């Protein structure tokens, strides 16, 4: 299962919740594993450094005979050639099969009936689909005003204490449209794409997750880890992603509407303009 959408749209929360389902393993943002996990040896979601995590050591051994700088370097080289947003309309490339195969080997080595890759980028989703990897895409959308407000905030990366990337509201709006349009294009090409809104997930988590599981053909089990608007998360081995990946225990599923008072009127208008008509398609009305 591949979670696609623009960052700060709730993909990490959705991944953690889906990862609590039986037979499902959440891997985090695999697209960043090669550089941040293998090369920079950043922390796994379980709190261990990537090379010290028993889960990832076993996966690396099964998939590639161990994690080496040459495996990571090769995938990063292929990524630069193949996995580009501008290549989406014509994805065919001689290196595509080898690039997608690295992901396929890693997913298989994770050893679960269903694995989740929350890499988000539409371009990687496109590579996997074009190469014939058996993948369902969950397209996560969130109100672009809320996304723009989130990208403007200063957030520290727990991995190294450095601030996360910040974008202006206009830049966020352009990326929001590009990523969502690309994922729409993929659905139009016959890929299995299921769309979910972050706002629906936090407003009705059980119904939304149950509906999602049904549409993805997963066993719609009970969801004992959710009670009303509270969820309990166990440890996970997410290789990279939003700081929320380290959270274990109770989490309140509450819609974050900080943008309503936090986003300047001129920025809100700019985002409204730059995200139309997809914004309307997803049910986010123009702000007054
Ligand atoms: Zn781990």
Ligand 1 centre to CA of 49 (Å) is 8
- Separation between Cα atoms, residue 46 and residue 4, nearest integer Å: 23
Ligand 1 mean position, distance from CA 40 (Å): 15
State in Å: Cα 153 to ligand 1 middle.
28
Closest by CA to 140, choosing from 92, 100, 200, 94, is 200
Q: What is the pLDDT of residue 160?
A: 87
The residue assigned the tokens 């407000």 is: 149
Q: How close is the Cα of 51 to the center of ligand 1, in Å?
A: 9
Q: In what order do the strands lie in the sheet with 249-252?
A: 226-227, 230-233, 249-252
> What distance in angstroms lies between residue 227's CA and the mean position of ligand 1's atoms?
27
Distance 48 CA to ligand 1 centre (A): 6
Say how many Å lie between the CA of residue 239 and the centre of ligand 1: 7
Distance from Cα 115 to the centre of ligand 1, integer Å: 15
Question: Token pair of 280, please?
Answer: 């309307």
pLDDT for res 141? 98
Q: Where are the beta strands (DSSP E) in the chain?
A: 2-4, 24-26, 114-120, 137-141, 193-197, 226-227, 230-233, 249-252
What local confidence, expressed as pLDDT, does residue 288 receive? 61
Question: How is residue 203 written in tokens?
Answer: 């407003």
The model's pTM is 0.95
Residue 18 CA to ligand 1 centre (angstroms): 17
Q: Which of 62, 65, 3, 59 is nearest to 31 (CA)?
A: 3
Identify the burial level of 143 via C-beta atoms within 10 angstroms of its C-beta, where 0-12 means exposed, 13-18 middle and 19 or more buried: buried
Q: How far is the CA of 47 from the centre of ligand 1 (A)?
A: 7
Q: How far is the CA of 232 from the centre of ligand 1 (A)?
A: 18
Instruction: Tell me the pLDDT of the chain (288 aa) as tens digits.
Output: 999 999 999 999 999 999 999 899 999 999 999 999 999 999 999 999 999 999 999 999 999 999 999 999 999 999 999 998 777 767 778 899 999 999 999 999 999 999 999 999 999 999 999 999 999 999 999 999 999 999 998 888 888 888 888 999 999 999 999 999 999 999 888 899 999 999 999 999 999 999 999 999 887 668 999 999 999 999 999 998 888 899 999 999 999 899 999 999 999 999 999 999 999 999 999 866
Q: According to the model, what pLDDT value does residue 259 have?
A: 93
The torsion angles phi and psi of 193, rounded to 5 degrees, stand at -125, 125
What contacts 79, CB < 8 A, 6 or more positions away?
31, 34, 99
CA–centroid distance, 97 to ligand 1, in Å, is 28
């Amino acid at each position: 299962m591949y979670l696609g959408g623009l960052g700060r749209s709730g993909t990490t929360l959705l991944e953690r919740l889906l990862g609590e389902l039986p037979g499902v393993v959440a891997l985090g943002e695999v697209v960043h594993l090669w550089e941040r996990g293998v090369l920079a040896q950043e922390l796994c979601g379980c709190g261990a450094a990537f090379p010290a995590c028993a889960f990832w050591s076993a996966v690396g051994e099964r998939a590639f005979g161990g994690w080496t700088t040459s495996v990571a370097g090769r995938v990063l080289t292929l990524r630069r050639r193949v996995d580009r947003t501008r290549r989406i309309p014509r994805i065919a490339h001689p290196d595509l099969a080898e690039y997608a195969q690295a992901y396929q080997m890693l997913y298989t080595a994770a050893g679960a009936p269903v694995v989740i890759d929350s890499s988000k980028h539409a371009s990687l989703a496109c590579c996997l689909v074009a190469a014939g990897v058996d993948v369902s895409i969950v397209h996560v959308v969130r109100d672009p005003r809320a996304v723009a407000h989130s990208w403007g905030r200063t957030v520290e990366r727990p991995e190294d204490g450095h601030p996360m990337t910040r974008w202006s509201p206009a830049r966020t709006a352009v990326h929001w449209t590009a990523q969502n349009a690309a994922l729409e294009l993929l659905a139009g090409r016959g890929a299995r794409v299921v769309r979910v809104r972050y706002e629906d997930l936090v407003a009705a988590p059980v119904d939304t997750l149950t509906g999602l599981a049904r549409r993805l053909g997963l066993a719609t089990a009970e969801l004992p880890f959710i009670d009303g608007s509270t969820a309990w998360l166990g440890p996970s081995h997410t290789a990279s992603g939003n700081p929320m990946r380290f959270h274990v225990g109770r989490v309140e599923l509450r819609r974050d509407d900080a943008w309503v008072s936090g986003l300047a009127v001129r920025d809100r208008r700019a985002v409204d303009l730059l995200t139309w008509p997809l914004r309307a398609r997803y049910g986010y009305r123009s702000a007054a």
